[in-house]
Amino acid sequence: MSPRPTTIHQFVAMRLLRTLADACPEDLCVVPEPAVMLSPQTEFDPDLVVVRMDQIGGAKFTEPPLLVVEIRSPSTALIDLNRKKAAYERFSVPSYWILNPDPPQPELTVFELRDDGYALVAKKSAPFAVGRPFAVSIDPADLTRGLRR
């Protein structure tokens, strides 16, 4: 069993969910902590996903989400960057983000699926815009603003 996420982790997830939900088109939906069944033997519970509205309804997502977001913690850093990234790549998840909320500055790493696997398209601490799965501007510092460290 994994350790519970910290309240910082949960707070950052909520802020990112709000940012994504505010920009999300009506035919898509942002879902926190869903079960994503990648195979009969592999199921993950990512922090956030973006899916098509027609995927909403079951107990688990069995088709690839358009976006999977993992919020990194010290205990999950290597798993998020290696095991989960490889699994989401094999499952054909088009976009995979890893958010590191820890000091000195929060940082968002964005991978997008290409023909030969995931390509690193951004690793930013400063504000930037992404186009997949929809256009949205993200400022990693806004996600942790006001938190005591």
Spatial separation of the C-alpha atoms in residues 90 and 39, rounded to whole Å = 10
Domain presence at residue 124: yes
Q: For residue 109, what are its two tokens?
A: 């790493």
φ, ψ at 96 (rounded to 5°): -130, 125
Report the candidate in 5, 12, 11 with the shortest Cα–Cα distance to residue 99. 12
User: In the prediction, which pLDDT does 3 show?
Assistant: 60
For the segment 66-100, what is each residue's pLDDT rounded down to a tens digit?
999 999 876 666 566 778 999 999 999 999 999 99
Low-confidence ranges of the chain (pLDDT < 70): 1-5, 74-80, 103, 149
Domain span at residue 43 reads 7-144
Domain presence at residue 2: no
Q: For residue 140, what are its two tokens?
A: 């990693």
User: In the prediction, which pLDDT does 108 show?
Assistant: 95
Domain presence at residue 72: yes
Whichever domain contains 56, its CATH number is 3.90.1570.10
In sequence order, which residues have a C-beta less than 8 Å from that of residue 78 and are 6 or more positions away?
none
Domain presence at residue 26: yes
Domain presence at residue 37: yes
Question: How many domains does the chain divide into?
Answer: 1
**Following CA atoms 21, 27, 32, 35 in sequence, which dihedral angle do they give, to the nearest 10 degrees?**
-170
Spatial separation of the C-alpha atoms in residues 7 and 66, rounded to whole Å = 26
What would the 3-class secondary structure string for 4-56 be? CCCHHHHHHHHHHHHHHHHHCCCCEEEEECCCEEEECCEEECCCEEEEEHHHE
Whole-prediction pTM value?
0.92
User: In the prediction, which pLDDT does 1 show?
Assistant: 46
Domain presence at residue 1: no
Q: Answer whether 25's CB lies under 8 Å from 48's CB.
A: no
Domain presence at residue 149: no
User: In the prediction, which pLDDT does 77 show?
Assistant: 62
Give the 3-state secondary structure of residue 103: coil
Domain presence at residue 80: yes
